[in-house]
Amino acid sequence: MLTPTAYKDSVGIKSPNTAPENPYGWNASTVVHILERREYTGCTVNFKTYTNSIWDKKQRDNPLEKQAVFEDAHEAIIEKDIFDKVQIIRGQRQRKTKSGCTSTFSGLMYCADCCEKLYYGATNNGKREGAFFDCSLHWKHKDKCGTHFIRESVLEHMVLRHIQLVMGYILRYRQHFISVMENQLQLESAEKLQSSRKQLERNERRIMELKRLFIKIYEDNAKGKLNDERFELMSQNYEAEQKQLEAEVITLKQEIEVQERQNENIERFIRTADKYVDIEEIDPCMLRELIKAIYVEAPDKSSGKRRQNIHIEYDGIGFIPLDELAKKETA
């Protein structure tokens, strides 16, 4: 696909930018800008930036909840669900090992005990046969969490098998699957929804408080009541806390929206699952479409054999109770 500048040049439209040597060589920053453009979902977005006061002219990025978003302002060129999923995937950073390896599962793996992300490692020769995941907290502080070591090849087999069981069950007992998941989500959602709303309210109150505090220290600095060094330190701390809270607010709002749309989420998951009924191997796109997170338990060697379980949180519907679903097979 031609870059915007190359395309304009090809159809005779003048552009202030110089045509690149490679007309198909997209700049990474351009791609990122496109992926972040909410307007492509059909909305208009105002107030993307703000200033703290009339004295502070620095433009700062406004968090999403403070922007004015007008839905369905024009024809969408991408579905909102796809846009939201892309933002989640972009937040799942895939770090390379020292040998330059990355994993399809990177960004999805968590420790079942401490809930920290799992570290991805590989042998120095770069061969994938030795690639593994382990608890990142265990690697940093062995006294705070035990090992959750699991080979990538073993993980891939377990995840594929789990997905195949779920897809097969949906194919055979679609209505029973919907009924079981509706009951589970109703039990889980009420408590989660209340907790998420309370946390959201606390975060929003603190954000407003931080804004007031920033204005106060700015005025104190301007009046000479607060020296520049102290002002710089306090403003940096306030700004860092505010950014963290604003990121949490976005996540909380997304979680609340998911919890409020239970039945819709189940139907959407089934539509996605229908595409992978005959899946025979792990596919990166399939993995991101179906799965939100994978939790790995510590290995159990009490029986003399090494046994290890994983728990898969599917996108939009959470954990699927295979044991409960299996009762239908044996009934």
3-state SS of the chain? CCCHHHHHHHCCCCCCCCCCCCCCCCCHHHHHHHHHCHHHHCCEEECCEECCCCCCCCCEECCHHHCEEECCCCCCCCCHHHHHHHHHHHHCCCCCCCCCCCCCCCCCEEECCCCCEEEEECCCCCCHHHCEEEEHHHHHCCCCCCCCCEEHHHHHHHHHHHHHHHHHHHHHCHHHHHHHHHHHHHHHHHHHHHHHHHHHHHHHHHHHHHHHHHHHHHHHHHCCCCCHHHHHHHHHHHHHHHHHHHHHHHHHHHHHHHHHCHHHHHHHHHHHHHHHCCCCCCCHHHHHHHEEEEEECCCECCCCCCECCEEEEECCCEECCHHHHHHHHHC
Pairing of strands 109-111, 291-296: parallel
- Please report, in tens digits, the pLDDT of each residue of the chain (331 residues total): 878 888 888 888 887 777 777 888 887 777 777 777 888 888 888 877 777 665 666 777 777 777 777 788 888 888 777 777 777 766 655 555 555 567 889 889 999 999 999 988 876 565 667 789 999 999 899 889 999 999 999 999 999 999 999 998 998 889 989 888 888 877 666 777 788 889 999 999 999 999 999 999 999 999 888 898 998 899 889 888 998 998 889 888 887 877 677 767 888 899 888 888 888 998 888 888 899 999 999 999 888 899 999 999 998 888 998 887 877 666 5
Q: Is residue 198 part of a domain?
A: no
pLDDT score of 123? 66
Rounded to two decimals, the pTM is 0.60
Residues with Cβ within 8 Å of 295's Cβ and at least 6 positions away in sequence, in order, are: 110, 111, 112, 115, 310, 311, 312, 313
pLDDT score of 137? 92
91, with CB counted inside 10 A (0-12, 13-18, 19+), is exposed
Q: Is residue 169 part of a domain?
A: yes
Q: Is residue 144 part of a domain?
A: yes
Q: Is residue 279 part of a domain?
A: yes
Q: Is residue 1 part of a domain?
A: no
Range of the domain at 131: 109-177+267-330
Q: Is residue 288 part of a domain?
A: yes
Kindly state the tokens that stand for 298: 């510590």
Q: What type of residue sits at position 144?
A: K
pLDDT score of 189? 67
Where residue 118 falls (left for φ over 0; alpha for ψ -120 to 50; beta otherwise) is beta
Q: What type of residue sits at position 61?
A: D
- Looking at the 3D structure of the chain, how many domains does it have? 1
CA–CA distance, 296 with 290 (Å, rounded to integer): 18
Q: Is residue 325 part of a domain?
A: yes
280, with CB counted inside 10 A (0-12, 13-18, 19+), is exposed
CA–CA distance, 320 with 331 (Å, rounded to integer): 19
